[in-house]
Amino acid sequence: MIRRGSPKSAAAQGASSNGAGGGPSFGQAPAEVPAELDRTKIPAHVACVMDGNGRWAAQRGLPRTEGHIAGEEALFNVVNGALEIGVRWLTVYAFSTENWRRPPDEVRFLMNFNETLLSRRRDELHRRGVRIRFAGRPDRRVPRRVQRAMDEATALTEGDRTMTLTLAFNYGGRAEIIDAVRELVADGVAANKVNERAIASRMYFPDMPDPDLVVRTSGEFRISNFLLWELAYSELMFSDLLWPDFRSANLYEAVIEYQRRTRRYGGVS
């Protein structure tokens, strides 16, 4: 379990508007990398459930949407931190297949926010070698201009390989498995040929390695339909921080804890 942080922690972790690693960066610079973090054992793929935006806003008497705005700052500080330590794949849960049940104003906000966030961030992500991808079901409820912004960001960064940032958007783990099974059936795969490889190769991004480390914020101990197939052997970390307070320093803490664990994949160590 990652240590409990105070609401002040985010502000205390670096207030510079210039990022490290040369060149302009996303808001706050990442925190200094602790000496105990072993740079030879960086998880290749980190996935985050960015939970607690609404509560963060409520604690301040603000509308929930302000929590999402603050969540963007946290997200890009974590992107910065991930780049700093050489994480190759970062996947974040931005909008689930269940999030359509939220009040229409909040859904509308999150759709528009996705679009504006992409137009604000995509060039910098591209400059820093970050490939942007979206995992999730295409959906007619996603406005066309939002879809266009997603397609443009994907196309712009297609050749970037320093890190792949996957935004799980209209994503559901069960929906992904259902979609893979539908493809198996459509491909006429015989029952005795259905195996892990046949399913894995029909996931949204077969080239994406399974997450090594999953972090969920806000003190909730759930997976909430996130990457159900891919999480089979991931190390899970839960932080009491609300997502808008989460920063690169907290990512580093999670990575240090990950490095202390022994992964056995069902075998013995």
Residues interacting with ligand FPP, by CB under 6 A? 50-55, 68, 71-72, 75, 94-95, 99, 110, 113-114, 117, 167, 218, 243
Residue showing the smallest CB distance to ligand FPP in the complex: 54
Q: Is 51 a catalytic residue?
A: yes
Q: 50 vs 255, which CB is nearer to ligand FPP? A: 50
**What is the smallest separation between the CB atom of 83 and ligand FPP, expressed in angstroms?**
18
Given the residues 51, 53, 77, 114, the one annotated as active site: 51
**What is the smallest separation between the CB atom of 104 and ligand FPP, expressed in angstroms?**
15
Alpha carbon distance 230, 209 (integer Å): 8
The stretches of 173-265 forming alpha helices (DSSP H) are 173-186, 196-200, 248-260
Q: 68 vs 128, which CB is nearer to ligand FPP? A: 68
Q: Is 195 a catalytic residue?
A: no
**What is the smallest separation between the CB atom of 236 and ligand FPP, expressed in angstroms?**
17
**What is the smallest separation between the CB atom of 100 and ligand FPP, expressed in angstroms?**
11
Given the residues 18, 53, 99, 112, the one annotated as active site: 99
Cα separations in angstroms, 85 against 12, 33, 66, 122, 133: 20, 8, 29, 21, 21
Beta-carbon contacts of 165 under 8 Å, excluding residues fewer than 6 positions away, are 79, 90, 91, 92, 125, 130, 131, 132, 133
Count of CB atoms situated within 10 Å of the CB of 159:
9
- By CB atoms closer than 10 A (0-12, 13-18, 19+), residue 236 is middle
Q: 138 vs 188, which CB is nearer to ligand FPP? A: 138
Residues with catalytic annotation?
A: 51, 99
